[in-house]
Amino acid sequence: MIKTIAVDMDGTFLNSSNDYNREEFLELFNKLKNKGVNFVVASGNQYAQISSFFPEIWREITFVSENGGLVFENGNLLIKNTIGNSIIQEVLRVLENTSYGVDIILCGVESAYILKTGTDEFKDNAAKYYFKLKEIDSFQQLPDDEWVKIALHLDDKNAFSLIEMMNSNNDSKLKAVYSGHESVDLIANNINKGNTLSQLLNQWEIKPEQFLAFGDSNNDLEMLELAGYSYSMGNAGEQATLVAKYQAPSNDENGVISTINSLIDELG
């Protein structure tokens, strides 16, 4: 029986209009709660942003944010996986010397940070995904925070070249993963959605074969590999489709909610 469900947000739970069928999901969520099934949102985005999509029930959902860097349960920080200042500074120096035209968001526990010199377009886009966002003069001196991720925005034509460059560098302290929407995340080598969800399942005494996960992109691969029931979306990238055991309808076809409803007898 399925005891825990985890969903990615962008391209998975959310449709192309950046929303979901709220009435239908609230009805489904109450069914999950009555059956004792944990509902987890697992995203590369910031906790303040992803929790805002669930105004009525956010305290009843567990949020794995920042690609596994931070976990919040009942509104409280439960798990924190941070990256040291020296590593962050070293990687920032590498990024500042690339020719890929990279916009940088430095993601901390308390806030995310961008440069004041960024374009208005970049700042507006960053604000959509980071509700706690501060502008700073320089990355030379880091703000007083703890670090969970470096998020990059760049053209897709350059994204995979940068990923290859970062991941082929034996001295690179962070792993680069494509998260869709012209975005690349730099995360600690041992931190990802799958590893952090494995920690949660252990705490809850739930086996991977009792775990259902939905994803669409490369930052979902470890989570899909972990789950006994793993679904890629109809709109998913090639690697997510290869890793997942099953395929759900696309995010614009209400794929997550319809698939969970079809498995309702397997829940609890």
3-state secondary structure 175-229: EEEEEECCEEEEEECCCCHHHHHHHHHHHHCCCHHHEEEEECCHHHHHHHHHCCE
The structure tokens listed for 112 are: 């995310």
pLDDT for position 156 = 77
- For the full predicted model, state whether its pTM sits above 0.75: yes
Q: pLDDT tens digits, the chain, 268 residues: what are they?
A: 999 999 999 999 999 999 999 999 999 999 999 999 999 999 999 999 999 999 999 999 999 999 999 999 999 999 999 999 999 999 998 888 887 889 999 999 999 999 999 999 999 999 999 999 999 999 999 999 999 999 999 887 788 888 888 888 756 679 898 887 788 999 998 899 999 999 999 999 999 999 999 999 999 999 999 999 999 999 999 999 999 999 999 999 999 999 999 999 888 8
Order the strands of the 133-136 sheet from edge to edge: 133-136, 112-115, 103-108, 147-153, 183-188, 174-180
Domains of the chain: 4-80+191-266 (3.40.50.1000), 85-188 (3.30.1240.10)
Would you tell me the crossing angle of helices 22-34 and 255-262 to the nearest 10 degrees? 30
Told to judge if 185 belongs to the known catalytic residues of this protein, a careful annotator would answer no
pLDDT for position 97 = 83
Place of tokens 């995360």: 187
| Active-site annotation holder among 8, 103, 185, 216 | 8
